[in-house]
C-alpha cells in the first residue's frame, strides 16, 4: 500500500501546480439557465477542454468530451484476471455562484504560522472559527485573495484525480484494474446529471472526490427537493388600488415568512432537515419563489412538501382573489438507500484511508453530490474527501497536505479494489 509521506513527497509540487492552474479558470455555473442548456455557462468549457487536452497529452487514448460537457476517459488495467469491469473516480468542474468565482487569484501561504489569515475586503480566516487550522501549522495552505471564492469545491478533487492518473502512468507496473475518470459540469446547480450519458458508463462502482475536510468519508446524504411557488396577483395603479390590488410580491414575502426560521439552514445542523427561500423574482401581478428543502428522512420530506401546500392555502386565504400554486420536484435521493446493499465498497475506502495513515471520519453530507445521482441509478458512489474548508465562500481554504492525503487514499483504493 502507498504511504502518505512517500506519496506526498512525490506529488505535492505537481498537485499544487495543477490546483493553482485549475482554480484560475472561471467555471461558475448558473442555476437559472441549467434547465435550458448543459453546461449552464460557456466558461465551464474552458476547464473541460483543458482537462481533455491534458489527458490526451498523458497518452490516454480513450478520452471523450460530449456536447453536454461530460468528459469521460478510460485507462485499461494491467491485471491478468481482469473481468472487464471498471471503477470510476468523479469530480465536477463548476464552482458555486454563491460567491464571486471569476478572476480567482489563489494565495499560497507557506509554513502557516497559526495566526489569523487576513485577505482583501476585510475577509479573514480566523483560527477561532476554523479550529482545523491548528492541524496545519507549519504547512502550506491555499486560499483566494478574498475577492472571490477559491474553487476547491471541486477543483481540488479534479487536481487530485489528475495527479493520481499521472502517477499511475509513471508507474506502469503498479497493479490496477480498469479505471474511468468522469468530470462533470453544473454539479452546483443540482441539475448537472440531467443529461449524463449513463449508457456510456462502464463502472460498476464509482467514487466522487468531492468531500470536505481531510478524512471525511460520506455514505449518506440529504433527500433533496425543490419547490416552485407561483403567486398570481392583480396589478392596479397605486392611486386607485384600495381593495383592488393584489400584490404578488407581498404574497411571496408573506409565504417566505411562514417558513419556520428554526428549520432554516442557519439554524440546523447534524441530522436536522431544513427549508430555505432560494430565489424570488417577479412583479405586482406575478411572482415566482423557489424553495429548497432537505432531510435525511423521506417521511420528513413528504411532511415538508405538504406543509408548503398548507402555507399556499393560508396565503390565498389572506389575499382574497390571489392564487398560489406549488410544484415540487426531487433533486436527489439519500445514497444510503443503495450503499447499504454494498458494504464492500465502503470497507474498501475505510481500509484505503487507514493505509494512508488516517482514520475515516464517517458522517452524512448536509447536501449532495453527483454521486447521489449515480447511486440512485444503481452505481454505488460514496464520497471521498478532497480537503477543502469553507466551501462556497471567500474564506475558503485548503491544506496541500490534505490534498496529498486524498491522492494517497485514491491510490490505495485502486490498489485494494482487485482484492
Please give the positions annotated as active site. 94, 187
Q: Using the 8-state DSSP alphabet, how is residue 292 labeled?
A: E
Report the C-alpha gap between 179 and 85 in whole angstroms: 9
* Torsions phi, psi for 179 (to 5 deg): -120, 145
H or E element, residue 376: helix 370-376
SS3 state at 289: strand
H or E element, residue 211: strand 203-211
Helix then strand then coil, in percent of the chain rounded to 5, is 35, 25, 40
Q: Any idea what the Cα angle at residue 127 is, between residues 116 and 124, rounded to 5°?
A: 45
Half-sphere exposure of 72 (CA within 13 A, CB side): 18
Query: Of how many residues is the chain composed?
Result: 419
* Torsions phi, psi for 208 (to 5 deg): -85, 140
Q: Any idea what the Cα angle at residue 216 is, between residues 397 and 171, rounded to 5°?
A: 85
C-alpha cell at 73: 476517459
C-alpha cell at 105: 487569484
Residues near 269 by Cβ (< 8 Å), separated by ≥ 6? Answer: 366
For residues 77 and 85, is the Cβ–Cβ distance under 8 A? no
C-alpha cell at 368: 449532495
H or E element, residue 401: helix 400-416
Amino acid at each position: 500500500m502507498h504511504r502518505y509521506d512517500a506519496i506526498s513527497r512525490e506529488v505535492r509540487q505537481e498537485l499544487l501546480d495543477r490546483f493553482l492552474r485549475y482554480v484560475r479558470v472561471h467555471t461558475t455555473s448558473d442555476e437559472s439557465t441549467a434547465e435550458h442548456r448543459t453546461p449552464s455557462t460557456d466558461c465551464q468549457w474552458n476547464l473541460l477542454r483543458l482537462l481533455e487536452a491534458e489527458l490526451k497529452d498523458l497518452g490516454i487514448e480513450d478520452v471523450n468530451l460530449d456536447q453536454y460537457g461530460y468528459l469521460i476517459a478510460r485507462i485499461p488495467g494491467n491485471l491478468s484476471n481482469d473481468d472487464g469491469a471498471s471503477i470510476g473516480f468523479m469530480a465536477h468542474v463548476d464552482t458555486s455562484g454563491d460567491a464571486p468565482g471569476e478572476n480567482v487569484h489563489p494565495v499560497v501561504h507557506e509554513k502557516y504560522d497559526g495566526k489569523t489569515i487576513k485577505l482583501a475586503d476585510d475577509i479573514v480566516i480566523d483560527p477561532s472559527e476554523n479550529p482545523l487550522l491548528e492541524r496545519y501549522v507549519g504547512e502550506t495552505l491555499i486560499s483566494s485573495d478574498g475577492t472571490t471564492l477559491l474553487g476547491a469545491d471541486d477543483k481540488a478533487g479534479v487536481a487530485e484525480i489528475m495527479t493520481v492518473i499521472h502517477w499511475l502512468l509513471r508507474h506502469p507496473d503498479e497493479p490496477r484494474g480498469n479505471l474511468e475518470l468522469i468530470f462533470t459540469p453544473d454539479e452546483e446547480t443540482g441539475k448537472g446529471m440531467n443529461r449524463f450519458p449513463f449508457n456510456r458508463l462502464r463502472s460498476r462502482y464509482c467514487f466522487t472526490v468531492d468531500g470536505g475536510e481531510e478524512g471525511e468519508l460520506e455514505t449518506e446524504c440529504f433527500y433533496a427537493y425543490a419547490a416552485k411557488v407561483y403567486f398570481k396577483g392583480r396589478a392596479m395603479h397605486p392611486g386607485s388600488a384600495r381593495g383592488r390590488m393584489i400584490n404578488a410580491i407581498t404574497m411571496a414575502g408573506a409565504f417566505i415568512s411562514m417558513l419556520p426560521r428554526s428549520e432554516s439552514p442557519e439554524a440546523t445542523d447534524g441530522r436536522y432537515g431544513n427549508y430555505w427561500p432560494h430565489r424570488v423574482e417577479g412583479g405586482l401581478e406575478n411572482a415566482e419563489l423557489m424553495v429548497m428543502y432537505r432531510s435525511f428522512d423521506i417521511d420528513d420530506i413528504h411532511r415538508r412538501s405538504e406543509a408548503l401546500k398548507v402555507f399556499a392555502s393560508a396565503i390565498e386565504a389572506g389575499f382574497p382573489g390571489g392564487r398560489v400554486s406549488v410544484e415540487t420536484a426531487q433533486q436527489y435521493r439519500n445514497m444510503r438507500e443503495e450503499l447499504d446493499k454494498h458494504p464492500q465498497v465502503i470497507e474498501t475506502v475505510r481500509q484505503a484511508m487507514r493505509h494512508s495513515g488516517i482514520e475515516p471520519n464517517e458522517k452524512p453530507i448536509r447536501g449532495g453530490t453527483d454521486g447521489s445521482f449515480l447511486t440512485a441509478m444503481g452505481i454505488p458512489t460514496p464520497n471521498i474527501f478532497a480537503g477543502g474548508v469553507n466551501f462556497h465562500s471567500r474564506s475558503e481554504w485548503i491544506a496541500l497536505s490534505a490534498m496529498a492525503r486524498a491522492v494517497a487514499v485514491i491510490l490505495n483504493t485502486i490498489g485494494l479494489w482487485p482484492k
